């Protein structure tokens, strides 16, 4: 039986998405979202813990993210968890874990929308992930 690798997040963007293109023209959007959880510590005091998540989107979904998402915007993301590795310029092995998004939905008020223009349908998703060869990724 195959395993399950699915992440679902609702959070706010930490900054505007960074958009890059592969050599064959596929858009790649990189951004972070913060999720917060409230809890009581052992003294009964309310506490908040924030976790930051790296998100990457490809193709049409990446273009939509670049056009409509801005810092502070609340979004819903579905995707899979992926860890990449590479050697830095000193030969040290580095790792990065990120969510590869396949569904994105903008939440909140429509006047909260980004860079002008009209808002696209709020549910943008289930776009097939393009086959991007790792050497094509510009980072």
Domain span holding position 101: 7-36+50-115
Residue range 91-132, pLDDT digits in tens: 999 999 999 999 999 998 765 444 544 445 445 555 455 555
Whether residue 85 has pLDDT greater than 50: yes
133 three-class SS: coil
In this prediction the pTM is 0.74
Q: Which positions ≥6 away from 91 have C-beta within 8 Å? A: none
Q: Rounded to 5 degrees, what angle do the CA atoms 9, 12, 17 make?
A: 100
Give pLDDT, residue 133.
Answer: 52
CATH of the domain at 64: 2.40.50.140
Whether residue 2 has pLDDT greater than 50: yes
Assess contact for 16 and 113: CB atoms under 8 A.
no
Whether residue 89 has pLDDT greater than 80: yes
Give pLDDT, residue 114.
Answer: 47
Residue range 56-80, pLDDT digits in tens: 999 999 999 999 999 999 999 999 9
The closest alpha carbon to 9, from 83, 103, 96, belongs to 103
Instruction: Outline where DSSP puts E strands in 46-122.
Output: 46-58, 74-87, 93-106
Is residue 127, in this structure, part of any structural domain at all?
Answer: no
In whole numbers, what is the pLDDT of the chain averaged over residues? 85
Give pLDDT, residue 117.
Answer: 43
Give pLDDT, residue 62.
Answer: 96
Is residue 124, in this structure, part of any structural domain at all?
Answer: no
Whether residue 10 has pLDDT greater than 60: yes
Is residue 13, in this structure, part of any structural domain at all?
Answer: yes
d(C-alpha 52, C-alpha 12), whole Å: 10
Is residue 107, in this structure, part of any structural domain at all?
Answer: yes
Q: How many domains does the chain have?
A: 1
Is residue 61, in this structure, part of any structural domain at all?
Answer: yes
Give pLDDT, residue 121.
Answer: 47
Is residue 120, in this structure, part of any structural domain at all?
Answer: no
């Amino acid at each position: 039986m195959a395993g399950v690798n699915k992440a679902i997040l609702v959070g706010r963007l930490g900054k505007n998405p960074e958009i890059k293109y592969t050599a064959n023209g596929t858009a790649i959007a990189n951004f972070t979202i913060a999720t917060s959880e409230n809890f009581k510590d052992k003294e009964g005091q309310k506490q908040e813990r924030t976790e930051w998540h790296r998100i990457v989107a490809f193709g049409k979904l990446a273009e939509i993210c670049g056009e409509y998402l801005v810092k502070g915007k609340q979004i819903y993301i579905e995707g899979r968890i992926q860890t990449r590795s590479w050697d830095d310029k000193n030969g040290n092995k580095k790792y990065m874990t990120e969510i590869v998004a396949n569904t994105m939905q903008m939440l909140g008020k429509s006047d909260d929308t980004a860079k002008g223009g009209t808002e696209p349908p709020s549910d943008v998703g289930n776009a097939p992930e393009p086959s991007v060869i790792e050497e094509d990724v510009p980072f």
